[in-house]
Structure 1
Amino acid sequence: MEKEISIRPYAPQDKTPLLEILRLLVPTYFAEEEIADFDHYLDLETELYFVAELHGKIVAAAGINFHEANKIAKLSWDFVHPAQHGKGFGTKMLQHRMDIIRCMTHIDAISVRTSQLAFQFYKKNGFELIDIQNDYWAPGFDMYKMIYHVRYGSF
């Protein structure tokens, strides 16, 4: 991983480049319909959202939202620029969010809804599969719901 990577909180001026990156991931990783969903998310649903920059350019993004009286942290809208796949940015963004959640002792579990295309990434990072819903986001884009049970001291 290159030293020039930095992770910082999302800012409104990041919206356009993030939408451009997401469009590059359609239709391989996201359905066309999800672009509008992400646009809405950025405007109205972000709680903690982060971007990763390499040499001053956004290469990845990922968020955390909260559910069930703030007992569950939900990983949200994480993706990496396709030119940067396989270089550790997804892992770095996951670790960044896990480090933040680790400090929140009221969190019992971390959930993520991902697709059949990315669920193995979460599985290898300790998440367990609890549900699959076929064609959830669009035809051919199944939803894999996964959970990570937080155990403080051994996170």
Structure 2
Amino acid sequence: MRDVVVRPYAETDRDDVLTIFDANRADYFGAGDRDWLIETLDEPDGPAFVVAIDGRAVAFGGYEVWEHYNKALLYWGMAAPARHGGGLGRLLLLARLHHVAVHARPVTRYVTVDTSPRVAPFFLRCGFEQTAVWPEGYRSGMTMHELRFDLAKVSADELAARRDDALATVVRTLSSPDREGGRP
């Protein structure tokens, strides 16, 4: 069985996170995003996490609390392309939602994210609601979807249970012979 854990980002994860980004760049990110990621890794605006398989980071994302508003904003959120569809994104998302619910200071009600049309359906499936669509909302010209999750509608215990179910799904997926030997 593979060791799968969600843990805080560490400097030793930097190369893995940059590799994940580079592998996703053509399909999910725009020009200049790598520099922004490097800034985030150097000075995160809030807690950052990785999903690690056997010690190697295979997914990365974090959040920041907006102190003057009743919300936290998710940043990044990416998984190694070879792992897309294996549940890592859902696990990472649920771990971040639970962390916001339990640890965010000041306590906040909403978790928001802005993302591309390609990724927005993932958040909708995970219980987010769409709040706005901005044609050419990104400098790259891509449409931006804004979504939010209302923490008042679910308990921290329920989020923990969902996170744990997502972890079990990832472990089952890695154990499947269809996953090419469970490569990292």
Specify if TM > 0.5. yes
Deviation at 1:146, TM superposition (A): 0.7
Cα shift at 1:123: 0.7
- How many residues matched? 154
Task: Indicate the structure with greater strand content.
Answer: 1
CA distance in 1, matches of 2:69, 2:102: 13
**Residue matched to 2:135:** 134
The question of whether the paired residues in 1 share the 8 Å contact of 2:31 and 2:140 is answered with no
Q: Could you tell me how far 1:64 is from its partner in structure 2?
A: 1.3
Which structure 2 residue ranges, 5 or more long, are not aligned? 159-184
Q: 1:45 to 1:153 in 2, by over 3 A?
A: closer
Note the C-alpha offset of 1:153: 5.3
The Cα of 1:139 is off from its aligned counterpart by 3.3
Instruction: Report the RMSD for the aligned CA atoms in angstroms.
Output: 2.0
Correspondence list, 1:41-56, <5 A:
41-56=40-55
Q: Which amino acid aligns with 2:92?
A: M
Structure 1 moving runs of 4+ over 6 Å: none
Alignment of 1:6-155 (within 5 A): 6-69=5-68, 71-104=70-103, 106-139=107-140, 141-151=142-152, 154=155
Aligned partners of 1:33 and 1:138 also within 8 Å: no
User: Shift in Å at residue 117 of structure 1?
Assistant: 1.2
In the TM superposition, residue 69 of structure 1 has moved relative to its aligned partner by 3.0
Q: CA deviation at 1:17?
A: 1.8
2:16–2:58 CA contact under 8 A, matched in 1: no
What code does the residue aligned with 1:19 have? L
Q: Deviations over 1:90-147 (max 9, x none)?
A: 0101111121122258211111111111100111111111122233334353221111
Instruction: Say if 1:140 and 1:84 are closer, same or farther in 2 by CA, change over 3 A.
Output: farther
Report the CA distance between 1:71 and its aligned residue: 2.8
3-state DSSP of counterpart to 1:46: coil
Which segments of 5 or more consecutive residues in structure 1 lack a partner in the other structure? none
Distance in structure 2 (CA, Å) of the matches to 1:120 and 1:26: 19
**Which of structures 1 and 2 has the bigger CA Rg?**
2
Contact 1:62 / 1:93 at 8 angstroms: preserved in 2? yes
In structure 2, give the amino acid aligned to 1:80: A
Contact 2:60 2:79 in 1 (8 A): yes
Instruction: Output the TM-score relative to the length of structure 2.
Output: 0.75
TM value normalised by structure 1: 0.88
